[in-house]
Amino acid sequence: MSATASPPAKPARKSISPLARTWRSFWRRPATQIASVVLGLMVFVSIFAPWIAPYSPATIDMFNMLAPPSPQHWLGTDENGRDILTRLIYGGRVSLSVGLASVAAAVVIGATLGALAGFLGGWVDSLISRIIDGMLSIPLFFFLLTTLALFGSSLPNLILVIALTTWMPVARIVRGEITANRELQYVEAAAALGVPKMKILFRHVLPQSTPSIIVAATLGIAEAIIVESALSYLGFGVRPPTPSWGNMLAEARGYIFQNPLLTVYPGALIFISVLAFNTIGDAMRDATDPRK
C-alpha cells in the first residue's frame, strides 16, 4: 500500500515592511495620485521657469494690453501687455517658495520647542506651553499685517513672519508624542547606559514623531500659500513687479469687467495647489494612523 502524498506546502507569505505598508495605503487613492502629479508638475514648472516660460515676466507690450488668448499668448496679456502664462509660472515659483520655506522654518522651530517641552517637562514644559497658548491667542493675520507694515514686506521678511506665527501646531503635536514616548523602555535603557539627554531626544525619541511632523507640514504649506496670497492681495506681501498669485489677483481686480479671466487664472491655481496639499496631507494622516 503506497503512502499518501502530503499536499505541497504553501509558500510563506512575504512580510511587508511598515514603510511599504504606509506607502501602499497612501498611494492607493486616485485623488492622492492626481494631487501628487499636479503638485509635482507645479514644482517642476516653477523650478525650470526660466526655460519653460515663453517670455520674461517683466516684458511690457503697450500695444497688446488685455489681449485675449492667442497663439502668441496662450492665456492672453494683462493690463500692461505682459504675458499671463509667464507671470503665472513665475508667480507659482514665488508662492510655492514662500509656502515651502516658511513651513520648513516653522517645523524646525515647532519641533525643537515641542520636543524640549515634552522630554524635559517641569518648568521648561510650563514655559513653552504658556508661550504657545499666548501665540495662539493673538489674531495672527492682523499681527502679520502690523509686523510687515513696520519691517517691510520683502520676501525674507514674509517667510520669517509666516514661520514665526505658524510653528505652534507643530510644537503641540510633537510635545504630545514626546510626552507619550519618553517613558518607554528603550528611552530608559539609553538613559541607564549614560547616553546624554539631548542625544536621546534628538536621535532616538524625536524621529518617532516624523510621520506626524510630515503631515502637519503638508497641511501647513497649504495654509502658508493662502496667507501669502492674502497678504500679497492686500499689498503687504510680494510687491509688484515681482509676480505672485496673490498680487496678480490684486492687479486684476480693476479689470474684472474688461477681462474676468485675469482673476480666474491665479485664483484657480491657488485653489488647486491648496486642495492638492490638503488632499496629500489627509492621505498621509490616514496612512500613518496606527489604528488603521
Please tell me the predicted confidence (pLDDT) of residue 1. 46
Tell me the per-residue pLDDT of 92-116, one tens digit each, with 9 for 90 and over. 998 899 999 999 999 999 999 999 9
Please tell me the predicted confidence (pLDDT) of residue 40. 92
Please tell me the predicted confidence (pLDDT) of residue 48. 93
Mean pLDDT by 10-residue block, N- to C-terminus, for the chain (292 residues)?
Answer: 53 60 76 90 92 88 85 88 92 90 93 90 90 86 82 84 89 88 77 80 81 87 89 84 88 86 91 92 75 54
> Whose CA is closest to 161, among 175, 147, 178?
147
Q: Which domains does the chain possess? A: 44-56+72-287 (1.10.3720.10)
Please tell me the predicted confidence (pLDDT) of residue 268. 93
Q: Give the number of other Cβ atoms within 10 Å of residue 149's Cβ.
A: 11
Helix axes 84-120, 30-47, angle to 10 degrees: 110
Please tell me the predicted confidence (pLDDT) of residue 15. 59
pTM recorded for the entire structure: 0.84
What is the three-class DSSP state of 29?
coil
Please provide the DSSP assignment of 148-213 as one string: HHHH---HHHHHHHHHHTT-HHHHHHHHHHHHHHTTSHHHHHHHHTT--HHHIIIIIIGGGGHHHH
Please tell me the predicted confidence (pLDDT) of residue 292. 54
CB-based contacts of 197, cutoff 8 Å, min separation 6: 119, 120, 191
Please tell me the predicted confidence (pLDDT) of residue 101. 93
